[in-house]
Amino acid sequence: MTIETLIKEYTQEYNVDTTRGQCYNESENLYWWLVEEQGIDQEDLEVVRGEFLVDNPVLLPLTLQDLKTAEYDQFVDTIDSNIYNMYEDELSELIWEFIQEHHKDRVQEFYTIPHAWVEYQGEIIDVTVEQFKASTGNITEDNYIGG
């Protein structure tokens, strides 16, 4: 059975949470499923914590959790609208404009998103990559940084 077939089986059998912030937990779950259910040697697997390079941070979309505490306070003070009743894409755009205007030194950070995935014999297995499809054109190994 190929690794692609295994991953397809895994994602059909389990409800994989592809929302931002769940990648490490989902990668850990996949890792242990591959070890315990599929008998893959732990020596051949690794859960990697790294970053994912996106083309357009606004399309993630950005959320209030992307702001540091002081930035959040400043953002809330400078925005005239009720941010808690906004559409997700509207809020994301406002956050991006705020960062570009008030925190230019952090702009580049928004293009590299903390992320986790599983590596099996050098191959990247990312069951949560769906979260980046809107913000990134063609996803390749070049989008995965570090570990």
Judge contact between 128 and 27, C-beta under 8 A: yes
Backbone angles phi, psi at 65, to 5 degrees: -70, -15
Chain-wide mean pLDDT for the chain? 94
* pLDDT value of position 85: 87
Handedness of CA 40, 42, 43, 47 (dihedral sign): positive
Assign 30 a pLDDT band (cuts: 50, 70, 90). very high
Which residue in 69, 65, 64 sits closest to 82, CA to CA? 64
Give the model's confidence band at 84: pLDDT under 50 very low, under 70 low, under 90 confident, else very high: confident
Averaged pLDDT for residues 48-61: 97
Once rounded to an integer, what is the mean pLDDT over residues 17-29? 95
pLDDT tier, 135 (very low <50, low <70, confident <90, very high otherwise): very high
The mean pLDDT of 94-105, rounded to a whole number, is 97
CB 116 within 8 A of CB 48: yes
Average pLDDT in the 117-144 region? 95
pLDDT at 82: 85
**Is the pLDDT assigned to residue 42 strictly greater than 80?**
yes
CA distances from 3 to 40, 85, 120, 147 (A): 10, 43, 9, 21
pLDDT classification of 44: cutoffs 50, 70, 90? very high
Where do we find the tokens 């230019």?
Answer: 104
The CA-based dihedral angle spanning residues 126, 46, 110, 95, taken in that order and rounded to the nearest 10 degrees: 60
